Structure 1
Amino acid sequence: MPTASGPSFSRRGVLGFGITGAMIAAFPALAAGGNYEAMLVNCIDPRVATGSWAYMAGRGYKDLYSHFVVAGGPIGVVSPKFADWQQTFWENLAITIDLHAIKRVVGLTHRDCGAAAVAYGDRVKNDKAHETANHLEALRAFRAAVNKRQPKLAVHTGIMALDGSVEAMG
């Protein structure tokens, strides 16, 4: 209880504070970043949020990945329509490698994506073959760009259906 001379601290509170400080000092990697598996890059669309989490957890990456979310996911990283955003992704990937020591990037696009329609035209919403071809082209460009800038990282890509299933694209 605080007194006129200032706050008072219980021995238990001081001990807890001391233990926390000692743990942070002893395990700085836990405090500053750590050693994680991947970075997930996917779309802002709320319809794929739960499916994306389940996909990563199903591959053993639960709590072991960072997450970069941008309209279109990998499409936003490579399409000229979204050029103003792209440097932000590359800088984020670089700091993720520095802080989290990731080993791979997982890039997921998804069906019925509004950002894909902005990038490639409305036909992607009405023609599944056209949609698939454009997503595949974007995912290949994404893989090539990551491989060029960060050749030590593995890159896994896929197209997510709105039910959460993913068609692997490499």
Structure 2
Amino acid sequence: MSEGQRAPLPHAFHPPVAEFVVTSDDVAPGGVLKDDQVYAEGNVSPQLRWEGFPAGTRSFAVTCFDPDAPTGSGFWHWALFDIPASVTELPARAGSGSFEGLPAGAVHARNDYGAREFGGAAPPPGDPAHRYVFTVYAVDTERLGPDADASPAAVGFHLRFHTLGRAQLVGEYAAPAAG
């Protein structure tokens, strides 16, 4: 990519699947993430709610990915899977801190910070705004297969073959330049 071009969103190269809707009280589509969703400011996972997912959904997964990270491969901030099909909302903090409201049986894989939880935004100071893509996957099986030691890439590999539908919400964040 040339200077100024943005990386494609994470599902640009996946086969099409049914779309459904995810909304949040904490992340506005295309809006700026709240301070408490920033790694150094609170590291709080946002509230997410979803509806309209395909029939046959047996579980859900939630990820947060920054395609604009200066790594060549993006940065995984969150990978949560095996969320029971009866759950259609995660409250704020379900993926971080005391994990308030985390559904029983849900599994956190290690994010790119190396922790099994949501890791907030942390773009390099002065970078243009990074996009944080929150994706909810409708999954065709109750148990996806990997365990908590899986990388987000391994979770994504399994999701590639078990996703019935996908909903995404994109927020942005830029850290001011140092000095």
Which TM-score applies when normalising by structure 2?
A: 0.28
Larger radius of gyration: 1
More helix by share: 1
Q: Would you tell me which structure has more strand in proportion to its own residues?
A: 2
TM-score, reference length from structure 1: 0.29
